[in-house]
Amino acid sequence: MAGDDPFAEVARLLAERRNAVALTGAGISVESGIPAFRGAQGLWEKYAPMEYATIGAFIRSPEKSWRMLTELLSLCGGATPNAAHTGLAELESMGLLRAVITQNVDRLHQAAGTGKVIEYHGNLEELVCITCWRNFPTRERWKGDGSPPRCDCGEILKPNIVMFGEPIPWTAQERAEEEARSCGVLLVIGTSAQVTPACDIPRLAKKAGAAVVEINPEETRLTGTVTDIHISGAASDVVRGLLRSVSSLQKKND
Ligand code: APR
């Protein structure tokens, strides 16, 4: 589908269809200093997900899960948006991007100024008690000293993120599916597409007629099967390049 210049091709699709949606994963925040989950520097190299990151593991031993959660919170805590996050916010303000569906829990899309963000895996800003269901802002209860935060009832709190084995928040799933079914272009940025049901979103969009554009330095399970155009590179470089192509297309059409 891509011609000689994939950036020009994607810019043309964005401008013509004016109803793109982005699906983002950990790779978009790598240049903000948060390593992706899988791979050499990834959290899952250090903390086996089945031991630390399932809801069952949390219920059995919340103190143990909090070793991994403390590191995740510390990594995300000081991070700021990079050019990929701000570039998506710019595409939204230009009327070319309708929504961002993110698997990330770092809130960097909101920090960059994107208005419509669907948090597929929750976020780290809130803690919830899985015994009495009270919620607390993380900054109120998490001291960052290694001790797990506690509810007033005495139980250890859980970040309001989706751990393995937990369902996707119902409204996020509904909204994401609706966006996927009705978008003209799906930008799939920085996800290895290995985790269900998030990895079904590109297939759903493609089945409904969207062009699927993958932005990732590596190939994934989607590349060559679901993906129509793969632009290989770091998210910030590629999104900057897309913005340049969009603006040169606009100049040509003026
Ligand atoms: N720009 C774009 N993509 C990048 C960059 C970058 N600078 N650096 C790495 N990537 C790509 C990797 O090639 C990889 O394909 O980002 C992807 C990151 O994959 P994962 O670590 O598997 O992250 P993600 O797909 O978001 O994981 C999905 O799994 O562990 C759970 O709940 C967690 O939300 C997470 C989900």
Instruction: Confirm whether 109 is a catalytic residue.
Output: no
Residue 190 is given by DSSP the state S
Residue closest via CA to ligand 1's atom 10 equals: 27
Backbone angles phi, psi at 86, to 5 degrees: -70, -35
pLDDT at residue 6 in the model: 97
Domain boundaries, the chain: 1-34+82-121+168-254, 35-78+123-161
pLDDT score recorded for residue 202: 98
Q: What is the DSSP string of 12-76?
A: HHHHHH--EEEEE-GGGGGGGT---SSSTT-HHHHS-HHHHSBHHHHHH-HHHHHHHHHHHHHHH
Q: Which residues line ligand 1 (CB under 6 A)?
A: 25-27, 30-31, 36-38, 42, 103, 121, 190-192, 194-195, 216-218, 220, 234-235
What per-residue confidence (pLDDT) applies to 2? Answer: 53
DSSP state of 231: E
Dihedral sign for Cα 39, 199, 20, 160, please.
negative
CA-nearest residue for atom 17, ligand 1, is 191
**What is the distance between the alpha carbons of residues 223 and 155, in angstroms, rounded to a whole number?**
44
Dmax (CA) of the chain? 64
> The tokens of 115 are what?
């208005």
Q: Note the pLDDT of residue 113.
A: 98
| CATH of the domain spanning 1-34+82-121+168-254 | 3.40.50.1220
CA 130 / ligand 1 centre spacing (Å)? 28
Nearest atom in ligand 1 to the alpha carbon of residue 192 is 15
Nearest-atom number in ligand 1 for the CA of 105 is: 34
Measured in angstroms, how far is the CA atom of residue 137 from the centroid of ligand 1? 26
Position 133 scores a pLDDT of 95
Q: Which CATH architecture has domain 35-78+123-161?
A: 2-Layer Sandwich (3.30)
Residue 3 has what pLDDT? Answer: 64
**Within the chain, which residues score under 50 in pLDDT?**
none
| C-alpha 204 – ligand 1 centre gap (Å) | 20
pLDDT per residue as tens digits for the range 170-196: 999 999 999 999 999 999 999 999 999
Q: Which of 85, 109, 121, 230 is catalytic?
A: 121
Q: Rg (Cα) of the chain, in Å, rounded?
A: 19
